[in-house]
């Protein structure tokens, strides 16, 4: 009972904008998301393309122009090229639009700790979100057209599904795990490593149970 009372009277529950039903916790997440939007999109097209980026943009542009897509060992999975071709069809093809997809995924990554509050705690999840926001490495990959930005989100979603399933065994979590894993497999080969890591974790968790 005391734990429940403490949770209800947490400093994170202090109202900030009562008319919008925003407490301090949700307000901080919105601040982080707004800062993520600004930092991920600020001068996004100013930096010159690297060699990897030039390959990814060329094959995406070729698909957008109707040239089709054929997998090559020089690149990773097809997700990057299809999502960028889709963006080109809406906004045209240039250095800025080529990095829109990774910037969007970088913003989603900042927001994702919110769904891990059950396991990280509300304060822990907020700190995680803030650290993702200010991480130079994660910021860099959110502004760089490679597959890492996508993989970070797919792996986080897989982890959410696994923890959720271990918590209540609901079928919806299996769909989330399968969907995130499928998109990860069509994004990058590193998925095999993550599936192995999660697989060993699940085996250990089930053996302990």
pLDDT of 1 strictly over 70: no
- Residue 209: other Cβ atoms inside 10 A: 6
Confidence of residue 2 (pLDDT cuts 50, 70, 90): very low
pLDDT at 8 (0 to 100): 54
Instruction: Give pLDDT, residue 10.
Output: 81
Helix (H) or strand (E) holding 153: helix 148-168
Residue 23 has pLDDT above 80, yes or no: yes
Residue 13: its pLDDT value, please? 73
Report helix, strand or coil for 24.
helix
Give the pLDDT score at 45.
93
Closest CA to 58 of 45, 67, 100, 187: 67
CA-based angle 47:53:149, to the nearest 5? 90
Q: What is the mean pLDDT of residues 192-197?
A: 96
User: Do 56 and 87 contact (CB within 8 A), yes or no?
Assistant: no
Q: If pLDDT is split at 50, 70 and 90, which confidence band does 3 have? A: very low
Tokens 């080529």 sit at which residue?
Answer: 98
Q: Mean pLDDT, to the nearest integer, of 14-29?
A: 81
Cβ-contact 79, 1 below 8 angstroms: no
Nearest to 29 by CA among 118, 111, 144: 111
DSSP label of 26: H
User: 132-191 pLDDT, tens per residue?
Assistant: 999 999 999 999 999 999 999 999 999 999 999 999 999 999 999 999 999 999 999 999
E strands present in the chain: 15-17, 22-23
Alpha-carbon torsion 19, 25, 26, 27, what sign?
positive
In this structure, how many other beta carbons lie within 10 angstroms of the beta carbon of residue 56?
Answer: 24
Residue 135 has phi, psi (to 5 degrees) of: -65, 120
Instruction: Report how far apart the first and last C-alpha atoms of the chain are (Å, whole number).
Output: 27
Each residue's pLDDT tens digit, 71-129: 887 789 999 999 999 999 999 999 999 999 999 999 999 999 999 999 999 999 999 99
């Amino acid at each position: 009972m005391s734990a429940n009372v403490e949770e209800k009277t947490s400093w994170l529950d202090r109202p900030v904008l009562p008319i919008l039903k925003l407490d301090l916790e949700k307000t901080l997440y919105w601040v982080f998301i707004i800062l993520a939007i600004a930092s991920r999109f600020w001068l996004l097209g100013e930096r010159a393309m690297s060699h990897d980026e030039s390959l990814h943009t060329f094959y995406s542009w070729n698909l957008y122009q109707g040239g089709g897509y054929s997998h090559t060992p020089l690149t990773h999975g097809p997700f990057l090229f299809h999502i960028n071709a889709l963006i080109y069809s809406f906004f045209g093809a240039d250095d800025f639009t080529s990095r829109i997809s990774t910037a969007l995924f970088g913003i989603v990554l900042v927001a994702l700790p919110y769904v891990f509050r059950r396991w990280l705690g509300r304060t822990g999840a907020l700190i995680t979100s803030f650290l993702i926001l200010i991480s130079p490495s994660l910021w860099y990959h959110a502004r760089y057209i490679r597959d890492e930005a996508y993989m970070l989100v797919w792996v986080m979603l897989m982890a959410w599904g696994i923890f959720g399933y271990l918590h209540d065994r609901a079928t919806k979590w299996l769909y989330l795990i399968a969907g995130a894993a499928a998109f990860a497999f069509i994004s990058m080969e590193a998925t095999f490593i993550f599936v192995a890591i999660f697989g060993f974790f699940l085996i250990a968790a089930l053996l302990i149970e």
